[in-house]
Structure 1
């Protein structure tokens, strides 16, 4: 065996850490979508008004996206291991509370707590992953598996939610998290030892307030726009407030002695353009799932469970893309892998504009979503490797917090934007979906072209 092959082989401890962290990240990804198909049943069981049901998903998304960057920095300053385990404990308790909820208010409080736990665990877990595996083939392999499982978790959440709701109760969509959280906490001794700066700087409170409030306003505005259109006064006001707060955050960080996000990091081309690519990757693929859900249920007449099962093919594509990504990265490099992944995704998405109202078109959907899933996951892994490369260990929590924030905002913003596109273009549901799919493909193609013409070091 050569020295090179030995250098890229994981140790036994690294494998245990990888299993532990991947299991937790998969569970968090499942939580984004597991309740979607159960919403009507939850509404009937707890007495939600129809118009208020979307808050079951929105309450989670607001907390998860709004607090991710703050918790990523807290992980750097106070300890990633500590924040990861504290977040897992909160996730287990909030999931138990959600499953036992007897009123809409209690359920929404539990969902907010689940979102806060996700905002803590995801960047802390990714920071533990990037500090456990050094930059190079090992990290690329670990991030590839992580990306594959997270994307597969998002797409399989609908399947699991449908099965649990049909066979047991919607409450098990919450309860399923509890044993996983307990298992992760029990296995905590295998995690790396705590690491944090010897001289801990003071928390940048003005930066934390402005960025968290700005992200909350942005996510709320996008959600309102998806429900009521982009002419809704509350949605427009929230989007404007979010933009003002995020611009204010930029100026606060330029003056802060110990900034929450150093401007020098935000100015790095790999961080800046890598996160832009990640935003597009997550926004387009998750919104495509929404568009294909409309097609399957409203055009072809599929049930919620059958729709979830159809997306299992997309999940298989993402797993294959995640497994293949490290080898593709080693051959092509970050920039070319990003561009290639986006090109494959754009071509597969564009093919979906051919879908018709007959049942036989399901085969085109299955093939195209599988191929698109492979391309999307290649792009996601390349984005994660790029966004966390070239930074010291002390800033890995921040880098993964930025990447996680990008992911969660992409997941949150894609659906309302595409929903508005469908509404604006709709003569029939099929016409609206086809137009939105075309716009989705054009956006992916544009980011592919942008990535292809940039130099590797200025992604």
Structure 2
């Protein structure tokens, strides 16, 4: 494929990934404004954000499977259409109901349909590891930029126009992507197309929903000891000080996922099409690659959350100032993503994943060493830049490892799993960091240093997983 043809393929995919990542973070800076305008509470808007995350995470695997049935281009454009309608409805919301329908449900469903084809199309369209890395770098850069720039762009649009304009802007960008994607090439899919595993889809969605919901509720109840009463229909089930109820949700979710695995195995043994093949988990490279992806997004979202809250609560920055302060991390992500092809031609993907974790750990160490409650603005720059650069390096390389390790007929399966573990990592990152901060006994930089230190330990675990990646598979 020529450079021009590659650009025509990758541009709409990268823009779509940017919009999906932007949607996950831009709402946070306008919560109070939206709540006041539509006559609800801050908790109500936070619930819509939670439901968006839950919808997207729960439906990512079924949405990915539909690419093998309906086609990647059909799912991509269909997802964009659903997302765009949701954005328009959310922009017109006069109450919480329409906001939930537009943002939480339709944008969540649209994201689950449009994101898996992005990674499948790049994998099946480019055979060369360097070229594939370059284009994954563009998409990973767009994902990181959307997540990092969401608060800044959302803050600017909300401050100078309105929060409704932010949703309309998303709808306009989505419409432009649909126009760009009209002539998108969709390489041949496995024939005949598989049958949709409805029971598997229900079990997958229910299990992931419960696990992610439980993780998100740690901000309210804590991980181990309930910070407040857990009530059902006005009856206290677990009093404050008892065991955290989040493990009820997580435990039931894990049990449902165990039923899913048993169902998938039985379906495969019977010669019927499963929602995804459990044989993927027998491959060491795939398992470790998915682990690194999960931990990368945990560190990315968790560290951005910690730094953003620190800048606003301790340093007194507003949403726009916080977004500007995060620019060094954004620049680091973009520069490392842009260098993905050159790095892939010089180093194995395994080495790049390890290098990304090492660079990120170094950046977090610099933040802990240099930043204080009253330190200058420049003390943030080196740590944020290295953290962003490391994340950009390993996001691209890990995606390349996981997607390239599976044959064409399993791209739908692995793409859904890949995006699901990444979403789970994002949810866990915010929840883990938030639970440390909420549990702090006093304000100031100490709790933030502790939260960042915990995320640094997680990054070290990710580095260990990267070291264990089999060398030959990482060079495929």
If the TM-score is normalised by the length of the shorter chain, which range does it land in? over 0.9
Q: Is the Cα contact below 8 Å between 2:17 and 2:143 reproduced in 1? A: yes
Match among 288, 305, 313 for residue 298 of structure 1:
313
Deviates more, 1:137-146 or 1:199-208: 199-208
Q: Give 3-state SS (helix, strand or coil) of 2:348's partner.
A: helix
Match among 102, 112, 117 for residue 110 of structure 1:
102
2:339 corresponds to:
324
Q: Work out whether 1:363 is the aligned partner of 2:356.
A: no
1:28 corresponds to:
20
Structure 1 residues 89-136: Cα deviation after superposition (integer angstroms, max 9, x where no partner): 111111000001110111011112101101110002221222222242
Structure 1 residues 343-402: Cα deviation after superposition (integer angstroms, max 9, x where no partner): 110111122223211041x32222211111001111111110011013222221222222
Q: Give 3-state SS (helix, strand or coil) of 2:127's partner.
A: coil
2:253 corresponds to:
242
Q: Work out whether 1:177 is the aligned partner of 2:170.
A: yes
Match among 200, 213, 217 for residue 207 of structure 1:
200
- How far is 1:426 from its partner? 3.9
1:52 corresponds to:
44
- How far is 1:281 from its partner? 0.4
Q: Is the Cα contact below 8 Å between 1:80 and 1:195 reproduced in 2? A: no
| Aligned positions of 1:122-201 closer than 5 A | 122-193=115-186, 195-201=188-194
What is the rounded CA distance, in whole Å, between the counterparts of 1:332 and 1:219 in structure 2?
Answer: 35
Q: Is the Cα contact below 8 Å between 1:88 and 1:185 reproduced in 2? A: yes
Match among 381, 390, 394 for residue 379 of structure 1:
394
What is the rounded CA distance, in whole Å, between the counterparts of 2:473 and 2:176 in structure 1?
Answer: 42
1:119 corresponds to:
112
- How far is 1:194 from its partner? 6.4
What is the rounded CA distance, in whole Å, between the counterparts of 1:14 and 1:453 in structure 2?
Answer: 33
What is the rounded CA distance, in whole Å, between the counterparts of 1:364 and 1:325 in structure 2?
Answer: 28
1:309 corresponds to:
324
Say if 1:157 and 1:266 are closer, same or farther in 2 by CA, change over 3 A: same
- How far is 1:420 from its partner? 1.0
Return 5+ residue gaps in structure 2 as ranges. 231-244
Say if 1:254 and 1:457 are closer, same or farther in 2 by CA, change over 3 A: farther
1:216 corresponds to:
209
Query: TM-score, normalized by length of structure 2?
Result: 0.91
| Aligned positions of 1:402-441 closer than 5 A | 402-441=417-456
2:353 corresponds to:
338
Match among 222, 229, 232 for residue 229 of structure 1:
222
Q: Is the Cα contact below 8 Å between 2:276 and 2:413 reproduced in 1? A: yes
What is the rounded CA distance, in whole Å, between the counterparts of 2:128 and 2:198 in structure 1?
Answer: 32
Match among 12, 32, 35 for residue 43 of structure 1:
35
Aligned length: 450
Q: Work out whether 1:18 is the aligned partner of 2:10.
A: yes
What is the rounded CA distance, in whole Å, between the counterparts of 1:88 and 1:289 in structure 2?
Answer: 27
- How far is 1:458 from its partner? 6.3
2:457 corresponds to:
442
What is the Cα-based RMSD across aligned positions, in Å? 1.7
What is the rounded CA distance, in whole Å, between the counterparts of 2:261 and 2:444 in structure 1?
Answer: 41
2:411 corresponds to:
396
Return 5+ residue gaps in structure 1 as ranges. 1-8
- How far is 1:329 from its partner? 2.4
What is the rounded CA distance, in whole Å, between the counterparts of 1:135 and 1:36 in structure 2?
Answer: 39
